[in-house]
């Protein structure tokens, strides 16, 4: 079985990783290994921790520091963690050098873009896109839905299959994918919902919360 490294951030002094990510990897036949975002800049133990990893899952979480993509903060940011930013960027660089496949979800997709010189919308409602996060009511995590259209004959279209609607829970998104990555799916209002490159797939929606009731959403993890 493929060993899948999953990076876990911190929140309120504890590791923070939605169990649905682990369950999705298990359901897809993988062996999940949790990598805590505790290896700061210059900590060579990260390479040792990555040694058994055969595929990488970059999960959702707090906002990436705008400094990482050459911008100044222009809105209220959520749970910015410089150590996690640094570790995930180094982990992604390692995966690309080693030819290890990477799937990024929500923040993970955004990190892929930032790593490749792309940029993000710091706040979608402020940019005129208000259908991606429930700012008025708490209806539960990733319960909103919107339409989706993928570029034909791409990895994204193969992953989606006959799905044309996904869930959403994010106030940031990829603005430009960066060098070597291509936008391959868009929401109904034009927000980039998927990016891909050689060995890389980034999805803005949350298939991990859907695959327990609809096995079609397991495809990104498979």
Q: Which residues are catalytic?
A: 106, 206, 208
Distance CA 64, CA 86 (A): 10
Structure tokens at 118: 């792309």
Place of tokens 């799905």: 163
CA distance 7 to 15: 10
Rounded alpha-carbon distances, angstroms, from residue 166 to 83, 100, 163, 203, 207: 31, 27, 8, 10, 8
What φ, ψ does residue 35 adopt, rounded to 5°?
-115, 105
- DSSP-H helix ranges across 99-213: 107-115, 155-160
- DSSP label of 216: G
CA-to-CA separations, 154 to 80, 90, 133, 147, 178, in angstroms, rounded? 32, 27, 27, 18, 18
């Amino acid at each position: 079985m493929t060993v899948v490294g999953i990076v876990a951030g911190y929140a309120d002094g504890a590791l923070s990783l939605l169990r649905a990510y682990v369950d999705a990897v298990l359901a897809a036949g993988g062996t999940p290994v949790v990598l805590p975002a505790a290896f700061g800049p210059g900590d060579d133990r990260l390479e040792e921790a990555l040694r058994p990893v055969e595929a990488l899952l970059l999960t959702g979480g707090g906002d990436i520091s705008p400094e990482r993509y050459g911008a100044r903060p222009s809105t209220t940011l959520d749970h910015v963690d410089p150590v996690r930013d640094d570790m995930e960027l180094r982990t992604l660089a390692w995966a690309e050098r080693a030819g290890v496949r990477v799937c990024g979800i929500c923040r993970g997709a955004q990190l892929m873009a930032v790593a490749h010189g792309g940029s993000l919308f710091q706040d979608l409602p402020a940019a005129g896109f208000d259908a991606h996060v429930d700012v008025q009511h708490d209806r539960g995590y990733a319960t909103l839905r919107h339409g989706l259209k993928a570029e034909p004959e791409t990895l994204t279209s193969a992953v989606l299959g006959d799905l044309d609607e996904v869930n959403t829970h994010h106030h940031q998104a990829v603005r430009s994918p960066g060098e070597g990555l291509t936008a391959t799916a868009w929401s109904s209002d034009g927000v980039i919902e998927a990016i891909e490159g050689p060995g890389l797939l980034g999805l803005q929606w949350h298939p991990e919360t859907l695959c327990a009731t609809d096995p079609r959403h397991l495809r990104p993890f498979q």
